[in-house]
């Protein structure tokens, strides 16, 4: 099955939907259905953005990895003219353990490009933003490519005003390489849907403290 970066949203438009079979169709070539991330307790995120539910379970921390760079530009779109890759509209909320929105939390995203390469000289596909009064964030980017040893993922640091920083990574459902990545955690799976312009994904962060 091709990774999410190889999906063809246009071809799949008739299948668009909210069901758990979306990516199954999108990934194609699978002999048996592969659910998309949304519902199994074993793979559910700490919150369910689609339903607005929040379990209050803190989002797991993960390693920062070797490619973080401080000083990223403040921006909500990492897409640049001519940038290759499937467009991805990622959004969600930053919440407290009692499920209240956290305004003014800083999110710093960084990721590989569609071919699995990081820009370590500049700030391509790196950017930070601050949650709005309702705790929401939104990021326009592209689906990252795999690179040796790693499945598709997006790195992020989430820091509430005056609070500690959560460093973690987000993953894509239906990617076969997830199971071979020792860092992969199903609690960090995005909820993904195919849209006309690419993919939309949601994830709510729950901060511990
Ligand atoms: Fe990485």
User: Residue 102's domain is classified under what CATH number?
Assistant: 2.60.130.10
What does the block give as tokens for 107? Answer: 């999110």
Half-sphere exposure of residue 34: CA atoms within 13 angstroms, side-chain side = 17
Domain that holds residue 134: 4-206
* Closest of 161, 195, 164, 180 to residue 58, by C-alpha: 164
Question: What's the 120 CA to ligand 1 centre distance in angstroms?
Answer: 12
The segments of the chain whose pLDDT lies below 70 read 1-52
Structural domains counted in the chain:
1
Question: What's the 140 CA to ligand 1 centre distance in angstroms?
Answer: 18
DSSP state of 173: T
| CA separation for the pair 19, 21 (Å, rounded) | 5
pTM (2 decimals)?
0.80
Coil, helix or strand for 199?
Answer: strand
Question: What's the 128 CA to ligand 1 centre distance in angstroms?
Answer: 16
Count the neighbouring beta carbons within 10 Å of the beta carbon of residue 92.
23
Question: What's the 58 CA to ligand 1 centre distance in angstroms?
Answer: 21
43-94, pLDDT tens digit by residue? Answer: 344 555 545 678 899 999 999 999 999 999 999 999 999 999 999 999 999 9
pLDDT of the residue at 52: 62
Q: Return residues with CB closer than 5 A to ligand 1 (ion).
A: 65
pLDDT of the residue at 26: 32
Question: What's the 169 CA to ligand 1 centre distance in angstroms?
Answer: 8
């Amino acid at each position: 099955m091709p990774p999410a970066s190889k999906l063809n949203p246009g071809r799949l438009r008739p299948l668009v939907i909210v069901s758990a079979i979306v990516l199954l169709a999108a990934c194609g070539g699978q002999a048996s259905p592969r659910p998309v991330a949304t519902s199994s307790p074993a793979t559910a995120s700490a919150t369910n953005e689609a339903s607005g539910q929040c379990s209050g379970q803190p989002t797991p921390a993960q390693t920062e990895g070797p490619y973080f760079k401080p000083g990223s530009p403040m921006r909500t779109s990492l897409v640049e003219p001519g940038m290759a890759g499937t467009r991805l509209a990622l959004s969600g909320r930053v919440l407290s353990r009692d499920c209240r929105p956290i305004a003014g939390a800083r999110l710093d995203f960084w990721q590989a490009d569609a071919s699995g390469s990081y820009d370590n000289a500049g700030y391509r596909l790196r950017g930070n933003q601050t949650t709005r009064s309702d705790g929401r964030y939104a990021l326009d980017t592209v689906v990252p490519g795999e690179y040796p040893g790693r499945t598709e993922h997006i790195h992020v640091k989430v820091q509430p005003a005056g609070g500690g920083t959560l460093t973690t990574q987000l993953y894509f459902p239906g990617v076969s390489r997830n199971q071979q990545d020792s860092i992969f955690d199903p609690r960090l799976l995005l909820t993904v849907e195919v849209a006309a312009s690419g993919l939309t994904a949601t994830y709510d962060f729950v901060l511990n403290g």
